[in-house]
Amino acid sequence: MKIKRIVAVIGSACLIVALVALSVMSCAEPIETGGVLKISVGIDANTLGHPPTLTRMGDFRKAAASVETLVRTDEAGTPVPWLAKTWKVDAQAKTITFTLEKGVKFHDGTDFNAEAVKWNLEQYMASPRIELNKVESIDIVDDYTIRLNLSEFDALLLPNLAAAAGLMISPTAYQTYGQEWCATHPLGTGPFKFVSWDRDVSIKFERFDDYWQKGKPYLDGVEWVIIADPMVATASFLAGEQHIATQIEPKDARDLEDSGEFTIAMSVRGGLHAICGDAGNPDSIFANIKVRQAVEHAIDKQAICDTIGYGYWTPVYQAATPASWAYNPDVVGYPYNPEKARQLLTEAGYPNGFQTTIFTMNTPAHIVSIMTAIQGYLSEVGIDAEMDIMDHGRFYGIFAGGGWQDGITVFPMGLSPDELGLINRIYTPESVLFGT
């Protein structure tokens, strides 16, 4: 099978900037069958097959070859049927009743039915995750009908069931091998079966011949190839070694588009990157809201989007993208105003600025470019920021432990259908990012 070649560009900007999922593809070709689709990604997964601990959007995408959700969302974010073929919402009774697809099996031969769904949802409810916290109980109506009883009506429940909360894994596999095994062996109902995971090298899936959608999948397999260096990823893609390349730098994407050989296909959904000060620490300089406001005013976000993002990025001033139901177009935020930044620093007690540290990952390259630009903007208002560039292992260790003492870090936020839940997970007092 000759597979259409695509480039997906992941971008970020500051303080919060929408990541626009982009694809560069060749001309459309007739559908053929066979072949292994190879996709390069810049970062390996943390977990693949245990939904409650699957928190990164990149991991969700990798797992999706094997593990499916009860419902999905279309490009507009509207829930559409998948493993649940229909549902009935009774807002007055505070229930949602799902009718499930029949004849579906997990890759180990376990039947997908109401019992399996109940088990999966209750596992998720027992975890610290909050997406299902309004589900009080679950009733099995019959083998292929299940009812969720809510403490109060939750309009976001369906979108959440299109994300990690709705992922269905084999109860038999979990009960046989345990959580740790499932985390590294995704075993769902999807079109591809898990084959292997070679850390920092590749994740491989093969065709599941008994997939419930007859005639699919068209491919023989899918392979995720881990290439941390965007330059190497681009060269590998252009050499024909992968069919899809992610983490392509915006400049390379612009060059590919300008060549006339590729077309950009933009998704309305994306992700966010937020610059966060150590504001949860009461002894931190960033605990002072005027300091945080000064940092906001000091940075020309639009200029960064234009010069580093090559027009593919959009600055936003809230934890939602323009395509989100939660996006408020009336939010003005903190426009670029270095004079205002200096004024706020003076009011905060730092008329001569202060010293701090910017903690950042060493890849992808545009992250370092963004943080370097931020360093320059902060310098113009008197904030002397030293760069601490580190590998992903050290960065996530610092991030998870809240260890960017009195400094600034970048927080990547994969978009959730429930932005309120996302905000609660990040900014509540229990979160390491509380007060940022």
Q: What is the pLDDT of residues 273-319, one digit of tens each?
A: 778 887 777 888 999 999 999 999 999 999 999 999 898 888 888 87
**Burial of 180 from C-beta contacts in 10 A (0-12 / 13-18 / 19+):** exposed
Lowest-confidence pick of 194-203, 339-348, 408-417: 408-417
Q: In this structure, what token pair is assigned to residue 229?
A: 């260096």
Domain ranges of the chain: 43-226, 272-427
Q: In this structure, what token pair is assigned to residue 102?
A: 């029949």
CA distance readout (Å), 101 to 74, 84, 111, 330: 19, 6, 11, 42
**Torsional sign, CA 273, 275, 278, 282:** negative
- Tell me which residue of 310, 302, 354, 275 sits closest to 24, measured CA to CA: 310
The CATH class of 43-226 is alpha beta
Query: Does 329 sit behind a cis peptide bond, omega within 30 degrees of 0 on the bond before it?
Result: no
Lowest-confidence pick of 32-41, 215-224, 268-277: 268-277
Report phi then psi at 415, rounded to 5: -70, 135
| 203 touches 197 (CB < 8 A) | yes
Is residue 272 very low, low, confident or very high in pLDDT (cuts 50, 70, 90)? Answer: confident
**Torsional sign, CA 404, 409, 415, 419:** positive
* Maximum separation of any 2 CA atoms in the chain, in Å: 70
Lowest-confidence pick of 10-24, 178-192, 298-312: 10-24
CA distance 282 to 186: 41
In percent, the amount of the chain with pLDDT more than 90 equals 55
CA distance 225 to 227: 6
CA distance 185 to 179: 10
Residue 27 has pLDDT above 50, yes or no: no
pLDDT digits (tens, 9 = 90+) for 212-246: 999 999 999 999 999 988 788 888 988 989 988 87
- Tell me which residue of 166, 159, 219 sits closest to 189, measured CA to CA: 166
The CATH class of 272-427 is alpha beta
Quick count: other Cβ atoms within 10 Å of Cβ 128? Answer: 8
Q: Give the containing element (helix H, strand E) for 388.
A: strand 383-390
pTM: 0.78
Residue 8 has pLDDT above 80, yes or no: no
In percent, the amount of the chain with pLDDT more than 70 equals 83
Amino acid found at 113: N
Amino acid found at 106: F
Q: In this structure, what token pair is assigned to residue 154?
A: 């939750």
User: What mean pLDDT value characterizes the chain?
Assistant: 85
Lowest-confidence pick of 177-191, 235-249, 252-266: 252-266
Q: Looking at per-residue confidence, does 18 or 1 come out higher?
A: 1
Residue 13 has pLDDT above 70, yes or no: no
Residue 75 has pLDDT above 80, yes or no: no
The pLDDT score that the predictor gives to residue 267 is 59
